[in-house]
Amino acid sequence: MTTYIFDGSLEGLLTSIFEFYDRKEKSVQLVWNKFYQPSMLDEALEVINDETKARRVWEGLKKKLSPDWRTRFYKSYLSEDPQTFQDLFDFARYIFDSPAGAEANFGNPHVMAISKMDKRVNREKHRMKAFIRFQQTADGIYYCPVEPDFNVLPLIVSFFKNRYADQQWIIYDVKRKYGLFYDLNKVQEITYEFVSEIDTKKVALPAELTDAKEELASVLWKDYFNSTNIPARKNMKLHIQHVPKRYWKYLNEKEGKN
């Protein structure tokens, strides 16, 4: 077995698939370079990203897969899960080596693995939509730090651009050190330098960076939440299923309850 070492990018994954067929390999273990541990017995190849090769593989998948399954492929990639990278590699091989419609065979372990991961990423995407709470900064920009399990920011761009089209906002992924900035015209990807004045490890902005009305708005929201909460109907087990505790730190109505 040959070990392919790639950089964790989609282009790198697709290039790896191209190299597999070009080199006529029998079997390949795909390893993200940040997890690779060299071994004397390894036959290893460091995959060099190639846009042309990657595009050829993607065009091939477009011919074999429906738009829905291409989206599932992409969303599963956003999981950043090492085993899922291998599953995607093996899934692509299975699709290329099988007749049309092979993705409908849920008896295949790679089809099943991609389907399950797609659902997990989808669930995280919907939670980000539901649990994001913006804070207004002193310069009028709405800011929210997040720390999703998966890299779902690319999946929520359109939702927030459409929902908050009349205000500037930043959604910053603390774990991956990049974010999205909407300037009333377009959404652009930003790096840590863009928010370097903010301590991104802290959920709440310091008073000197916060708009004067923000504290009042937070208090009013907490009062509203508490007034609509009916103790007799409280079901904490069900509540945690819908709002896992790891999200509570982002919800100002949960402040002091985590």
Instruction: State residue 195's pLDDT score.
Output: 74
- Inter-residue contact 142 to 134 (CB < 8 Å): yes
User: What pLDDT score was predicted for residue 42?
Assistant: 75
Which residues of the chain have a pLDDT value below 50? 208-209, 211-212, 214-225, 236, 238-242, 248, 253-254, 256-258
Same domain, 58 and 8: yes
Q: How confident is the model at residue 37, as a pLDDT?
A: 87
Q: Read off φ and ψ for residue 44, nearest 5 degrees.
A: -115, 150
Q: How many CB atoms lie within 10 A of CB 36?
A: 15
Considering the domain architecture, whether residues 39 and 148 belong to the same structural domain is answered as: no
Q: Is residue 121 within 8 Å of 75, Cβ to Cβ?
A: yes
Same domain, yes or no: 14 and 102 = yes
Q: Are residues 85 and 118 in the same domain?
A: yes
Q: Which of 96, 124, 152 is the last residue of a domain?
A: 124
Domain that holds residue 69: 2-124
Close Cβ partners of 164 (under 8 Å, ≥ 6 residues apart): 134, 142, 182
Q: Return the structure tokens found at 245.
A: 């505790």
Specify the number of domains making up the chain. 2
The pLDDT score that the predictor gives to residue 255 is 52
Question: What per-residue confidence (pLDDT) applies to 84?
Answer: 98
What is the C-alpha R_g of the chain?
22
Q: Are residues 96 and 196 in the same domain?
A: no
Domain shared by 105 and 216, yes or no: no
Q: Are residues 142 and 58 in the same domain?
A: no
Among residues 150, 111, 105, the alpha carbon closest in space to that of 127 is found at 150
Show the beta-strand stretches assigned E in 18-83: 28-32, 43-46
